[in-house]
Amino acid sequence: MRKGIFRSLLLLASFSTLIITLITTMTSYTLLEKSTIASLENQAKSLATGLATFGWEDYYPLLQQLPNNLRITIVEESGEVLYDSFASPNNLENHGDRPEIIEAKRYGIGFAKRFSTTLTHQTFYSAIQVNDQIILRVATQVQTIYNMIKNMIPYLLIALILVLLISSIIANKLVDTLLYPIEKLTSSLTEPISYDQLTIYDELLPLVRTIHQQQQAIQDQIDTLKNERDTINLISNNMREGLILLDQTAKVLAINQSAASIFEVDAKQFIGKSFIHLTRNPDLNRCVELVTSNQHIDIIMELSGKFYHIYGCGVETDGKIIGGMLLLVDVTAEQLAQQLRTEFTANVSHELRTPITSISGYAELLARGMVAEKDIQNFAEKIYHETGRIKELIDDLIILGKLDEGISQLEKESTDLSAIVEQVFNRLQPKAEQAQVQLTKIGDELSILTVPSMIDEVLYNLIDNGIKYNKPQGTVTVSLVEEGETVKISVADTGIGIPKHLQTRIFERFYRVDQSRSKHVPGTGLGLAIVKHIVHTLGGKISVHSQEEQGTEVTVTLNKY
């Protein structure tokens, strides 16, 4: 626009200069021509009067003194040239056919103009019939209008340059004044300025005011949209669930932080890219196909080792599908819990089925009288032993159930650890004697703030394992050591030990090391799971050090308070 206005103004100025110059030149030329003709006629008349008065012989010397820009010719009636101030009459042809001479002969006065051969000049002729014998002709030469214009060209060019220069300065200033307020307003859309601060032509005020109002309306809308976008971003980026918005061609329109973390990508890089760039998982891409064709999704899928519940649906506006949405909810914990529950139920059923099958078998033989008298006692003992296994399992399950419910309601109290160790030793002494294992306690008398029944359970399980997985003549040593704000309770045995790669698994529910020696030792596989559960509930730590055929040491660290 700026260039357009500028160009038009310059063109107008140049054109005007040209036209004015031409008109002025033509007008001046016409005036010049008129005055030249009038003066030529006057001179012809006065010369003719003189000639008529004095006669040719007397007038001739006078003619010699006239200014030599005038050409004076005296022509006889016959057209023969009698005198010519510019040339010898002998060299001149008969003038009888010249228009001015013919006209003078007919009307007493004649006029003609003729161009020179170069067209640069023209000659004006004025002829007057002096008497019956002679005609006087006066001629003067003036430049033609073309020549005049040609001579004007350098001045015209100078004038044009000056006009262009001046008008470009003026045009620039004018354009600036005209456009500045509009440019200023439009160039600062993001940061509106007040139009009161600008110098504006009155005629432009309504336009500028309208632009200003529209600009403010746009700015308000931008602010509103920005706020809405910020709010949506804030919500979606603080969501723990992954959220992905797609257009109909499966291009990612928005992806929140959680979704970007699930696919291990930078969210910003994926805006505008096709979903396939995010993941090549065929199942997930199938989900995208479905949601972008307005179908609902509700499935659980495994992605990078985690389980996600994926909800999806199409996005509609005015009854037209414009894209789709996916919501990914991490349900790994629930899935694992479900898995554990299933495994747990299967394990419990299995562990119960084995002794019950044995009991049922023995009982059936007894009931049918198929057992010899001397073996009845043996059978009864087997039934008693298997019932003991079931009871032990049920007891462990009850404890685990209680632990799963939480033991926070159990009151902590000052607990003498040495006393509990002694009590457990007393209860397990017969078992230890039977296994030829010696029980020893070392360390200080220690009291801590804890739940005594839970400590009893921990110690019972650890010492029981120390006896069960020991060798004859072996030992189980319980040591109590105070370390700052904590106490360390360790139970070390000199038994069969646990292979290194299985040391972390022994804390799993129902896990039992399938080792030739431990295979025949009765147990539920729940003892250490219970111990670990209690220690964690009490805020402590548990670790195991073991070497095959050397022995095992399990250490429990608890806070004193």
Find the part of the chain contacting ligand ADP (CB under 6 A) among 90-98, 312-320, 350-358, 493-501: 493-501
Binding status of residue 498 toward ligand ADP by CB under 6 A = yes
- Category of 318 on φ-ψ map: left (φ > 0), alpha (ψ -120 to 50) or beta: left
Min CB(460)–ligand ADP separation in Å? 11
Q: Which two tokens stand for residue 530?
A: 């219970």
Binding status of residue 324 toward ligand ADP by CB under 6 A = no
Of 556, 527, 546, whose CA–CA distance to 461 is shortest? Answer: 527
Min CB(520)–ligand ADP separation in Å? 11
Min CB(338)–ligand ADP separation in Å? 23
Binding status of residue 552 toward ligand ADP by CB under 6 A = yes
The angle that helices 2-54 and 145-187 make with each other, rounded to 10 degrees, is 160
Find the part of the chain contacting ligand ADP (CB under 6 A) among 35-43, 110-118, 363-371, 489-497: 489-497
Residue 216, classed as helix, strand or coil, is helix
d(CA 303, CA 308): 7
Q: Which is nearer to ligand ADP, 364 or 395 (CB)?
A: 395
Min CB(473)–ligand ADP separation in Å? 16
Number of H helices, E strands in the chain: 14, 17
Binding status of residue 496 toward ligand ADP by CB under 6 A = yes
The angle that helices 527-537 and 373-405 make with each other, rounded to 10 degrees, is 20
Residue 435, classed as helix, strand or coil, is coil
Min CB(349)–ligand ADP separation in Å? 17
Radius of gyration of the chain (CA): 63
Cβ(2)–Cβ(175) under 8 Å? yes
Q: Which is nearer to ligand ADP, 278 or 498 (CB)?
A: 498
d(CA 64, CA 100): 23
In DSSP notation, 105-133 reads HHHSEEEEEEE-TTSSEEEEEEEEE-SSS
Binding status of residue 355 toward ligand ADP by CB under 6 A = no
Cβ(90)–Cβ(77) under 8 Å? no
Task: State the amino acid at position 446 in one-letter form.
Answer: L
Site residue total, ligand ADP (CB under 6 A): 22
Find the part of the chain contacting ligand ADP (CB under 6 A) among 60-68, 129-137, 333-341, 517-525: 517-525
Q: Which is nearer to ligand ADP, 215 or 470 (CB)?
A: 470
Compute how many other C-beta atoms are within 10 angstroms of the C-beta atom of residue 497: 20
Min CB(556)–ligand ADP separation in Å? 13
Sites for ligand ADP among residues 519-548 (CB under 6 A):
523-529
Find the part of the chain contacting ligand ADP (CB under 6 A) among 44-52, 194-202, 332-340, 488-496: 488-496
Q: Which is nearer to ligand ADP, 443 or 497 (CB)?
A: 497
b/e 332-354 (16+ beta carbons within 10 angstroms → b) = eeebeeeeeeeeeeebbeebeee
Q: Which is nearer to ligand ADP, 217 or 340 (CB)?
A: 340
Sites for ligand ADP among residues 218-277 (CB under 6 A):
none
Residue choice 513, 535, 538, 556 for contact with ligand ADP (CB under 6 A): 513
Residue choice 493, 534, 535, 538 for contact with ligand ADP (CB under 6 A): 493
In DSSP notation, 41-100 reads HHHHHHHHHHHHHH-HHHHHHHHHTS-TTSEEEEEETTS-EEEESSS-GGGS---TT-HH
Min CB(549)–ligand ADP separation in Å? 10
Min CB(306)–ligand ADP separation in Å? 29
Min CB(511)–ligand ADP separation in Å? 6
Min CB(392)–ligand ADP separation in Å? 8
Sites for ligand ADP among residues 411-470 (CB under 6 A):
461, 465-466, 469
Residue ranges in contact with ligand ADP by CB under 6 A: 461, 465-466, 469, 493, 495-498, 506, 511-513, 518, 523-529, 552
